[in-house]
Chains A and B, each alone.
Chain A
Amino acid sequence: MRRSSGWTGTGRSSKPARRDPERFDALYRRYLAQVRSYAYYELGDHHDAEDATERTFLAALTNLDAFEERRPDDGDGASTFRVWLIRIARNVVANERRGRRRHPVAPLEAAGFAADTADVEAEVVRRDEMSAAWRAIGRLPADRRRAVVLRFVDEMSTPEIAGVLGRSEGAVRVLLHRALRSIGRELGDDRR
């Protein structure tokens, strides 16, 4: 059971949680893993990812008034709270990377996946497959890698990815298609 930090709203307020600092806790719990994963896949380091996650949520909290929810058919692309949050994360990660000038390489061991000791052989195979997938996305150009992570890790829809990347939906489809094509080629080569 999760502990409460004692600042979640009681629901008495008619103010939507997405604009109310007092009720931000629910949003934080809901999106923490997604923001953390995005930062980790981009930065490839646990400590950096945690720093970026912390800065993302603090920036989101202090700028809650700036959030405007838009539907895809409003003209400027979708802007759900999740899209807005990941956009902040994207900026934070870009600043982080600018500071250290390091290409994101995500060593699988650093991800801290727990080994299933019940079936060591299957675990080794699984780790090999995951390593291959990590390597494949690590070699992609930044915009394609970002699109892949948003699609397959954060499970975002095409309009949402378009909102995060500031691209059209068509451009996102092209990015994903090209990324999958090169990953498919690479994973196929790995198998041979």
Chain B
Amino acid sequence: MPFDAQLVEAIRLAATRLAHDLVRVHPSFRFEERLAVRLGEAARAMRLRAAAGSLGSATPVPLRAPSPAVAASLDPLDAHSVRPLLVGGALTSAALSLAGAAWMAWRRSRPAPRSPMARAVRAAREARLVRGLS
């Protein structure tokens, strides 16, 4: 047999031997299930983090400061109009439901009463609501 043919034959035999003798080493069932549970927990944690917005990005809300003349004329108690309200994304506390967020947005959009009496009435009503909840 010529040298090249011998070499080819030896390589072919080696390949056949390796295909037969190098077996795949399967893990134990116990290991497989333990790791599956661990990966499941990791996947759930990733989903929660994504839902909490840690994988998202914050969008700055540009706010224009009022001119000094306008600022001087503003009632200091009526500061609601310049505070941004961030809903969704970064806030995922269980306490903040969509309905709660909608209520806060509606509440914030309402102009505060100008008269001291109206403000006092509103404060008293809110205090009653808080007492009723606690």
* Residues of A in contact with B (beta carbons under 8 Å apart): 3, 5-7, 21-22, 24-25, 28-29, 32-34, 36-37, 40-41, 49-50, 53-54, 57-58, 61-62, 111-113, 129-130, 132-134, 137, 148-149, 151-154, 177, 180-181, 183-185, 187-188
In the complex, what's the smallest C-beta–C-beta distance from A152 to chain B, in angstroms?
A: 4
Q: Which residue of A lies closest to B35 (CB)?
A: A54
Q: Interface with A: B38-46, B63-71, B77-85, B116-124, which one?
A: B38-46
Contact yes or no, A181 B7, CB < 8 A: yes
A185 touching B22, Cβ below 8 Å: no
Whether B43 contacts A50 by the Cβ 8 Å rule is no
Q: Decide yes or no whether B27 CB sits under 8 A from chain A.
A: yes
Known contacts A33-B27, A50-B31, A129-B21; A58 and B13 CB within 8 A of each other: no
Contact B10 A185 (CB under 8 A): yes
Q: Is the CB of B27 within 8 A of A22?
A: no
Instruction: Across the A-B interface, give the 6 residue pairs with the lowest CB-CB distance, nearest first.
Output: A184-B14, A184-B10, A133-B21, A7-B40, A21-B43, A5-B36
> For residue B44, which residue of chain A has the nearest CB?
A7
In the assembled complex, the Cα of A112 lies from the Cα of B27 at a distance in Å of 10
Q: Is the interface of B mostly helix, strand, loop or mixed?
A: helix
Residues of A within 8 A of B11 (CB): 177, 180-181, 184
Chain B residues with CB under 8 Å of chain A are 7, 10-11, 13-15, 17-27, 31-33, 35-40, 42-44, 46-47
B42: A residues at CB distance < 8 A = 21, 58, 61-62
Interface of chain A, helix or strand or loop or mixed?
helix
Give Cα A5–Cα B15 distance, bound, in whole angstroms: 39
Report which residue of A5, A25, A36, A40 has the largest number of chain B beta carbons within 10 angstroms of its beta carbon. Answer: A5
> What residues on B are CB-neighbors of A152 within 8 Å?
15, 18-19, 22
Supposing A3-B33, A50-B31, A187-B14 touch, asked if A24 and B39 sit within 8 A by C-beta, the answer is yes
Q: Check if A62 sits within 8 Å of B17, measured CB to CB.
A: no
Q: How far is the CA of A3 from the CA of B40 in the complex (A)?
A: 13
A137: B residues at CB distance < 8 A: 18, 22
Decide if B21 touches A130 in the complex (CB within 8 Å): yes
A62 to B47 Cα, complex, angstroms: 11
Complex Cα–Cα for A112 and B43 (A): 32
The one of B17, B24, B31, B38 in contact with A37, judged by C-beta atoms closer than 8 angstroms, is B24
Query: Contacts A57-B35, A181-B11: A33 and B26 contacting too (C-beta < 8 A)?
Result: yes
Given A3-B33, A62-B42, A151-B18, 7 more contacts at CB 8 Å?
A33-B24, A129-B17, A130-B23, A134-B21, A148-B18, A154-B24, A185-B10
Tell whether, in the assembled complex, residue B27 and residue A32 are in contact, meaning their CB atoms are under 8 Å apart: yes
A49 contact set on B, CB distance < 8 A: 25
